[in-house]
């Protein structure tokens, strides 16, 4: 199996495991392996703006405020390294942020009109890290 297929299978399993820990049903998750590797989890409703949990193979997990589809999300908190922490670590991060914890700052702040920056992905390394979550 090639790296892209391993990456997709591993990411699917990882997103499923994180969603279970965070309490997000399968229909509240999405992931994509394309030019970049990303995942989205719709966090459970609560008072205030809608929040989402985002992951990218370039900079890991962030909690962000949902915006209009044409606008980039507004990051509230960033988990930081490692890129593929255990699902229970991600769940603790989400619980801390929802309780008012600050998280870590984003790795860099994009210009308002610039695309979101991220570290270059090492797809082979990501495939290895996520491989344990593949069915």
Collapse the DSSP code of 26 into the 3-class scheme (helix H, G, I; strand E, B; otherwise coil) and give the result: helix
Helix (H) or strand (E) holding 41, with range, is strand 37-42
Q: What is the mean pLDDT of each run of 10 residues along the chain (135 residues)?
A: 83 96 94 91 81 92 88 88 94 91 55 41 85 87
Burial class (CB in 10 A: 0-12, 13-18, 19+), 108: exposed
3-state helix, strand, coil in the chain (%, to 5): 35, 20, 45
pLDDT of the residue at 113: 36
Q: Is the pTM of this model over 0.85?
A: no
User: Strands (DSSP E) along 57-124, which ranges?
Assistant: 60-65, 74-78
Take residue 131 and report the two structure tokens written for it: 């491989």
Cβ(103)–Cβ(77) below 8 Å: yes
């Amino acid at each position: 199996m090639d790296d892209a297929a391993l990456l997709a299978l591993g990411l699917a399993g990882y997103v499923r495991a994180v969603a279970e820990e965070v309490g997000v049903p399968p229909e509240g998750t999405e992931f994509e392996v394309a030019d970049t590797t990303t995942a989205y989890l719709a966090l459970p409703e609560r008072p205030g703006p809608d929040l989402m949990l985002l992951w990218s193979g370039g900079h890991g997990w962030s909690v962000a405020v949902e915006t209009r589809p044409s606008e980039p999300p507004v990051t509230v908190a960033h988990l930081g390294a490692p890129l593929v922490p255990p699902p229970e670590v991600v769940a603790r991060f989400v619980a801390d942020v929802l309780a008012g914890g600050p998280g870590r700052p984003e790795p860099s702040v994009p210009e308002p009109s610039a695309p979101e920056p991220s570290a270059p992905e090492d797809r082979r390394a990501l495939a290895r890290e996520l491989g344990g979550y593949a069915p």
